[in-house]
A and B are shown apart, each in its own frame.
Chain A
Amino acid sequence: MDPSFPIVRIEQVSKYYPAHQVKALQSISLQIQVGERVALVGSSGSGKTTLLNLIGLIDTFDQGEIFFEEKPLSCLSEAERTNLRRARIGFIFQFFNLLPTLTVFENVALPLQLNGLRQKKQIQLQVNDMLAQVDLSERASFFPHQLSGGQMQRVAIARALVHRPVLVIADEPTGNLDSETGHEILGLLERSCQENGQTLVMATHSAEATRICNRQIRIHDGKQAHNL
């Protein structure tokens, strides 16, 4: 991917929730370049998470167009979107969303397996490397309920990055953590994205979180307020 091209290009995108009669996003247009770290900020209910879901290909829009690596998403089938998401995007959630029946190692290994990696040694190598990066090598065989909040989020980061996605989506990654742990997590995210040249798009309320980003996009009542 040529770094001069945007990884995500959004043109006049709107999203409605007819059931709730809510216009979640109205005529949003923006571009995100490869390697950028972008923070989506705004008050609760402003539409940050909706925009994040659209960028992350886990929700659909009603108007406009989104280009992912210059591919128009409206032309993709559900299965094609799933394949693209699986290979090119990593997700980090506010509530960690680890799979409770899988160990730390297995949670991290999951994206590799979903992407078709079958060699056990290769999986072990990549997962152990990732766990070492998030300093959780000794917790590899633990289940999520045996971990602290910070440890769970580190596992989630490892899972999001292990398959080397081009885009990392993070929804309030520190929203559920104390400030010290949050600081540690943000450092980890920044370092990982820098080292791997990954693009980060993060919805956040945290001022500290915005500091690791190159750019902030403020969303207000479903509209793009301005770039900071």
Chain B
Amino acid sequence: MSFFLTQALVFRNLAQNPLRTLFTVMGIALGVAVFLAIQLLNRSALAEFEKSVTFLSGDSNLEIVSETGQLFDEHILSGLTWLWHENSRYTPVVSFVAALVSKVERDEPELVEVLGLDFMRDTPLEGWEFTQEGTPKDFLDIFKANCVYVSEGFARAHGIRLGDTLPLQLTDSQENVKVSGIYRTNSGTASIAQNLILGDISVIQDLFHQPERINRIQLTVPSHEVSLFQKRLQAQMHPGLVVQTLAERQKQLEKMLASFHINLQALSMVSLLVGMFLIYNTMSISILRRRVEIGTLRTLGLTRGQIFRLFLTEASVLGIIGMALGVALGVGLAQGGMAGVSKTLQTVYGASPLRQLDLSWVLLSISGLVGFLVTLLAAFPPIWEATQVQPALASRPSEESTRAQKRAWPLLGVGLLFLLLAAWACTWPSVDRIPVGGYAAAFLLMLGFAAMTPFVVLQTARLIKFVAEQMSFWRLQLAFANLQRALAKTSVAVASLMVSVALVVSIATMVGSFRSTVTDWVNQTLKADLFIEPTLRTYSPSAPGLSPEIVASIKKLPGVEAVDDFVERPISFRGEPTRLGAGNFQVLQRYGNLRFVGGQSHQSVFERVVSSPHNIVVSESFATRFNIRPGQMLSLPTPRGPLRLEIGGVYYDYASELGYIVMDKALYRQYFNDASSTSMAVYLAHGEEPEQLRQRILNTIGKTVPLTIRQNRELRHEVLRIFDNTFAITNVLLIISIVIAALSVAITLFTLVLELEAHLTLLRYLGAQINDIRRIILIQAGVFGALGGTLGILNGYFLSLILIFIINKQAFGWTLFFEWSWVFIIKLFLALLVGSVAAGWIPAQKQVTLLKPEVLRRA
């Protein structure tokens, strides 16, 4: 096909329908933007971690860490000296989280990671050097008490110079450190370097009162013998210590974030799906409008292949423009969403903060390409339809309506088949915690409802037209006759709206059910009067807990009846990241009120658990992930070797999808040699005022240890705040999907009115008033909203069941209690009606103002 033809038939058509072109491009751009933004955020989070590992590890290729996430004794180093003779080396590392004192009082303290390295021998850091002004006057200063190096960026941000003193808030004390050097890192280094304070390992151990304790040992062994060294080293390790490659560490983080990332990926797919329907809608309408034109072209000798290429070019042009805009928009969207995602990753998962996007050309290209391919995929069915237009149709334009009506019944059958397939997909098990069956069921359900839409529209139009005829409501009769006549276009538009409404209803119902479940859970299980935790832990789960002395002094305070001092830490179980918690089971038995799976009462479970020292409880998500049931035994790695434990009960918990293993504190102390507590639940004596006790604690212990103390209702409120923050990105994506859907409806209404222009003009010639025409158009617009809304709500109901009982359960292991909000549904339905009528208002105004004789020639 010549360029002239393409230019004349494709580009001019796009230019002559600017609104349609604009809306379609926007739809594609938004779909691509959301997809790219999610990819960028997911990729950047992992890249940030990768870069921080590279920066902190240098050329190390193995590391020794505690399986239980604890500090361990550095004396183990003496057993590693053989490595020197094997062309290998090793270095110990210790790291802690602290906050800048001047920033602690702010809403959110500025956290720093304080890293202790062996400056005497070998620092594993990659690509760093001192700045000119920051070069230490004496390189031996780093071995002096409280002397540290800070990064150039950090020094600039806080106006720090060489020799300055920096006040740091540690968990239970404040310390001044002296800046004896300022370093810079290579470009491309992880943003972790920005808030990284370096010191000699013994200085940092002393600063944090953890003498001779380390987090990890980094090893550099001959690269071709890594696995051999890994085996040899593992053989000499104490129980609870594990030798792993850096790739294994990376994999652990990927596993930890898997559900979070998959959830976001699914949402980005939703945007693409809605975008696909928009593209399908606009291409279908474009082709349906031009059937006579296509027939003429075929009559004049254009082959089916040429028709195919013609419309493929049109879709490609739209796809390329949408892709380019979408990529730009996606980067902006990712920049905007970075802070929120970073905070969720940091506070919920303890991951590195996200300060910059990993803008790789490969990712940008892939996302753009995905958007382009999705455009072509969505455009394919209508384009194929275009190639099937018979040349004879040029003289029989009314054929389209008959064809569409005839197809309604077979499509109903196809739709029902899809629904059956969706029901079958619901029974599939998950694959690596990815709810493949759930996603397939959701997609099939959407397709099923979309396929049934023409039948529903046709039958509704027929029924109401019949009733209107009987009652002589001529405007209603004409409006429904028009819908029936333009069934193909009407059905595509209603299906588009239906998909968007279904997504809104299902995601809102899922989030609402989740929130309501969490609210019930919080109300039932949070029974203590005060909840105390070190302020630093509020912002970083890796910050250390409270010392036993502080816990003991709070227990002794007058008015305190009981304290459940809880400790939690990340651990690895069967090679998967999860969490270990330990609390005072006797206090929990007496004051707590956990809800157990299977309907067992809190009392009955804890009576059994307390009486047997090796009995534990686990959270539902843990039980689901590892397929564990009450009464089963499990083996937990501890510093004293494997510990065999019996599952006393599985409790409902929504704090982390990684799951919890919870044991009695006494057993934990015995096996983990750790007396610290990460939080405390305080039960007051009858008549005691929580606020008074809070003030008493803040005025005494709180003077030296920054504590966050929340009353019962405050903590409940905080839990829901975190919940809402976590779902903030979901809401943003939802709004974008609604915008895409609104574009879809607007395009359809504009097109439909244009289609009926001749018909409506004829009515005006025959004596219909301006208001009559306006009402007919508005009735049609309202019918769109009502039909799309009703089908969407019905579809959304089933979709929300899949989301809650299949996808959520398989991905996160949570049981959510289904809650269907009629108030929300009615509001949404009314909003759809008003929105559709409003969308019809502009074409209605445009149509009724002019009487165009030339239009009648097309009647």
Chain A residues near B (Cβ < 8 Å): 19, 49, 53, 56, 58-59, 78-79, 82-83, 85-87, 91, 93-95, 97, 99-102, 106, 110-111, 113-115, 118, 145, 149, 159, 171, 176
Contact = CB atoms under 8 A, between A and B. Distances in A.
Which interface residue of B395, B402, B854, B857 has the most chain A CB atoms within 10 A?
B395
A75 B8 CA distance: 35
Nearest to B9: A101
B9 A97 contact: no
A59 B300 contact: no
B390 A58 contact: yes
B550 to A, nearest CB: 79
Given A59-B390, A97-B292, 11 more contacts: A59-B392, A86-B301, A93-B394, A95-B395, A97-B295, A99-B297, A101-B12, A102-B9, A113-B2, A114-B301, A176-B857
Interface in B337-380: none
A101 B395 CA distance: 19
A106 B301 contact: no
A115 B300 CA distance: 10
Given A82-B301, A111-B300, A100 B394 contact: no
Given A85-B301, A145-B854, A101 B392 contact: no
Which interface residue of A56, A110, A118 has the most chain B CB atoms within 10 A?
A110
A53 B300 contact: no
A192 B238 CA distance: 103
Nearest to A123: B4
B392 A53 contact: yes
Contact of B395 (A86, A94, A106, A118): A94
Interface residues of B, number: 29
Interface in B517-562: none
Contacts of A114: 300-302
Interface in B290-310: 292-293, 295-304
A219 to B, nearest CB: 16
A58 B391 contact: yes
B299 to A, nearest CB: 5
B857 A113 contact: no
Given A111-B301, A115-B301, A97 B13 contact: no
Given A59-B390, A101-B9, A102-B9, A91 B299 contact: yes
Contacts of B392: 53, 58-59
A101 B394 contact: no
A83 B305 CA distance: 13
A85 B299 contact: yes
B187 interface: no
14 contacts: A19-B406, A53-B391, A53-B395, A58-B298, A58-B299, A85-B299, A85-B300, A85-B301, A86-B300, A101-B8, A101-B13, A111-B300, A115-B301, A176-B857
Secondary structure of the B contact surface, majority rule: helix
A159 B2 CA distance: 18
Contacts of A94: 395
B301 A97 contact: no
Interface in B50-71: none
Interface of B: 2, 4-5, 8-9, 12-13, 16, 292-293, 295-304, 390-392, 394-395, 402, 406, 854, 857
A52 B540 CA distance: 81
Nearest to A103: B8
B14 to A, nearest CB: 9
Given A49-B395, A53-B392, A149-B857, A19 B402 contact: yes
B394 A97 contact: yes
Contacts of B2: 113, 118
A102 B5 CA distance: 9
Contacts of A58: 298-299, 390-392, 394
Contacts of A59: 390-392
B304 A106 contact: no
B395 A171 contact: yes
A99 B296 contact: yes
B406 A110 contact: no
A87 B302 CA distance: 11
Nearest to A146: B854
Contacts of B13: 101
Contacts of A101: 8-9, 12-13, 16
A116 B207 CA distance: 85
Nearest to B16: A101
Given A58-B390, A101-B13, A145-B854, A93 B395 contact: yes
Contacts of A97: 292-293, 295-296, 299, 394
A91 B296 CA distance: 9
A164 to B, nearest CB: 14
Contact of A102 (B8, B302, B402, B857): B8
Nearest to B12: A101
B857 A110 contact: no
Q: Which 5 A-B pairs rank lowest in CB-CB distance, beginning with the nearest? A: A86-B301, A58-B391, A101-B12, A97-B296, A59-B392
Nearest to B304: A78
Nearest to A100: B293
A58 B303 CA distance: 12
Contacts of B16: 100-101
A118 B9 CA distance: 18
Nearest to A91: B299
A106 B300 CA distance: 13
Nearest to B293: A99
A113 B390 contact: no
Contacts of A53: 391-392, 395
